[in-house]
Amino acid sequence: MRKCKSAIHVLIFTIVYLISSEGICQYIPFQDITVVTNVDSLERLMKKQSGQQKLLSQLSLEKSYQNWFREKSREPFAPEKNSFNNFPALRSHLSYFLALNTRNQNDFKNSFPLALKAYREYKTHKDTTGMIHALLLMGIVSFTSEIKGAIYHPPYFMDAYKLSLATHIPEGKLMGKYARIRQFGSDSLRFHLPEIIKLCREALLDIQKNGHCIFLNPLFYSTISFAYGENKAYGLSIQYLIKQNKLLESKGIPPSIHHLNNLAYTYLKLKKYPLARKYYEMALNRVYSDKSYNYYETILYLFNSYHATLVALGEYKEASKYADSIYVYSQKNKVFENSKSINELVIKYEVKKKEADAQLLLKQKSIAEYKSKLYLVSVLLLLLIFLVVMVATIKLNQSYRKIKIANQEILHFNKLREFFYNIIAHDIRQPVSAFHGVSDTIIHYLNTKNYTKISTIALAVDESAQTLQVLLDNLLQWGIYGREKPNNPENISLDLIINETLKIYRFTIDRKSIHVPLLYNKNLMLFADKHGIFVVLRNLIGNAIKSIKNNGNLIIEAYDDSQNQIVIKISDNGVGMDEDTLAIVRQVLKQPDSVKPGERGMGLGLFLIGHFVKQNNGEIEVRSSLNKGASFILRFPSPQ
């Protein structure tokens, strides 16, 4: 019996030994990989470790770098794969961190298969948190490596988010929220800012409740700050950046260049230029000191933003140095060859500056220094003269441009004045002259009791007044068009506006016994500017009445055609037009802005017809034959 118990004890001891040995390793879920802030101590500890424990420390180190030290200089993660052969349970983590580091080196082609391999291995171990991390990485890699202009709809982010809804692991839930944020994609990000902010706030609250996930705080601080910045809420954006900065300081972790750049940019947007300058200088110092930092686009952005900050502070001399640097590096299509070259340039500059200072002190005791100073003064004077001449030249050019514009305006107003003189001399003078001597003539006919002649004179006076009124209205409309070009389209009654127009010419229509049939539905509506359409109809109907002889016909038709247009046709059997006149009329109606009123014998009314038809999205067609009348066909959009 005792021997049996002893054998059992030996068996148990052997099993425990095997489990704890390097040959058998119990699977460690992704969330159980520890994240530390003191990576230097961990790296020193690893030198004393071996086997499984060393590999676990290596994974801890990788996860810590991923979350806290994204830009810290170090050798890439590339442990011997053979070391993991004895620990199959750790190979999924190896695949993931290899994929992550490959992606950081912009090798997306090789990163995606490693991430996919990690996902499948995590799925075998039912490691939900690991699966979420792998899917998130797959989504980021596939998005980054997408061909420009291609449609981006990978399922990985949504799959990661769905997995997080079914897990109780805090880290998995938090990374699922981040996957949901990334799922929106850069193209539609701005349309989902409220949802992104909500998800970030929920995540930060969950982290506060679960303190062991504090290493994810920087991720969500950066994301919510970015969302508020995109929403132009820079005050809220800077609050979260400051929280992130304080968190890093409390952990003894220097802020990343990206974080310093975000701080500076947000302060720049808030117009707090001294603070913006402070953080831009910190970021640039980090660039100079970090020999491995090679994100050239970020460096170029820092130079541009720092230059803008210096200009805002009025430090133009200092800003000019960076402006020259920006130009030079942009012309070469790169910002820096590498951080080492920047350090070398800075060192060379400092050395040359010290040498120049030393030489200057020596030359102060010699005549050569005096000559040097004299030369320097001469150069400065020449430069000053050059600047004065340049400024004077710029001001003269500005004055010349102003004078040129003023001359053009004077020429324009002279043409307007000449046009008005012609209108007054030709079109206004004729109806006004009809009023001269009217009173004496009427008195004469009253004394002789010739009432028929008085009636004829009254009709002539009315017709002249009517002509004068139309001309003055056209002049007013032309003047308004030249200044404001108003257009207020609305649904208007076509019957109402036609009847208002006919009232203007009712005495002339009666006197000439003109027959005016109205062939349209009285409920027909038109979508246009009422004032502009009134000008068009008034001129077209007025011109038609002038051309019609006694007992003539003026036909006004309107209907809604099959092409969703309102068609208005104004026809008369008046004197019509010959081919030359018709060609000129068509040109003015088609392109009213190409012909000024008064040119080619065209009056102001025809110019206004063409303009207002075009302004109301309409079309006009004219048909005419000499001594056979004319037809004007208008087409406007149907009411909305």
pLDDT in tens, 373-387: 777 888 888 888 888
Judged by phi (left if over 0) then psi (alpha if -120 to 50, else beta), residue 551 lies in: left
Q: How many CB atoms lie within 10 A of CB 188?
A: 10
Does position 205 have pLDDT exceeding 50, yes or no?
yes
Domain 456-637 has CATH 3.40.50.2000: no
What contacts 116, CB < 8 A, 6 or more positions away? 134, 138
Confidence of residue 363 (pLDDT cuts 50, 70, 90): confident
Please state whether the predicted TM-score (pTM) of the whole model is above 0.75.
no
Distance of CA 630 to the CA centre of its chain: 52
Does position 405 have pLDDT exceeding 70, yes or no?
yes
Judged by phi (left if over 0) then psi (alpha if -120 to 50, else beta), residue 169 lies in: beta
What is the rounded average pLDDT for all residues in the chain?
77
Length, in residues, of the chain: 640
Does position 555 have pLDDT exceeding 50, yes or no?
yes
Contact 435, 461 (CB under 8 A): yes
Confidence of residue 339 (pLDDT cuts 50, 70, 90): very low
Alpha-carbon gap, residue 530 to 532, rounded angstroms: 6
Contact 284, 302 (CB under 8 A): yes
pLDDT at 23: 41
- The C-alpha torsion from 507 through 510 and 516 to 522, rounded to 10°, is 60
Confidence of residue 556 (pLDDT cuts 50, 70, 90): very high
pLDDT at 439: 66
Paired with 633 in beta bridges are 569, 621
Confidence of residue 569 (pLDDT cuts 50, 70, 90): very high
Determine which of 350-354, 361-365, 512-516, 573-577 has the lowest per-residue pLDDT on average.
350-354
Q: At residue 576, what are phi and psi to the nearest 5 degrees?
A: 70, -165
pLDDT at 358: 64
Confidence of residue 73 (pLDDT cuts 50, 70, 90): very low
pLDDT at 523: 92
Confidence of residue 624 (pLDDT cuts 50, 70, 90): very high
Does position 149 have pLDDT exceeding 70, yes or no?
no
SS3 (DSSP) at 558: strand
What contacts 175, CB < 8 A, 6 or more positions away? 129, 132, 133, 136, 160, 164, 216
